[in-house]
Amino acid sequence: MKTLVLATNNKHKLKEFKEILTGYEVLSLNDIKFVGDIDETGTTFEENAILKAKTISEFLRKKDLHYMVIADDSGLSVDSLQGAPGVYSARYAGNHNDKANRDKLLSELKDKPRTAFFTCAIAVCYIDGTCKTFIGKTFGEIATEERGSTDFGYDCIFYSNDLKKTFGEATEEEKNSVSHRGRAINEMLKSI
Strand order across the beta sheet in which 158-160 lies: 24-27, 2-6, 68-78, 115-125, 131-142, 158-160, 165-166
**pLDDT per position in the chain (192 positions), as tens?**
899 999 998 888 898 899 889 889 999 999 999 998 898 899 999 999 999 999 999 999 999 999 999 999 999 999 999 999 999 999 999 988 999 999 999 999 999 999 999 999 999 999 998 999 999 999 999 999 999 987 789 999 999 999 999 999 999 899 999 999 999 999 999 887
Which residues are annotated as catalytic?
73
β 115-125/24-27 pair status: unpaired
Domain ranges of the chain: 2-189
CB 119 within 8 A of CB 45: yes
Rounded CA separation 49/96 (Å): 18
Within the chain, how many helices (H) and strands (E) appear?
Answer: 5, 7
Topology classification of domain 2-189: Maf protein (3.90.950)
Among the listed residues 184, 189, 151, the one whose alpha carbon sits nearest the alpha carbon of residue 167:
151
Model confidence pTM above 0.85: yes
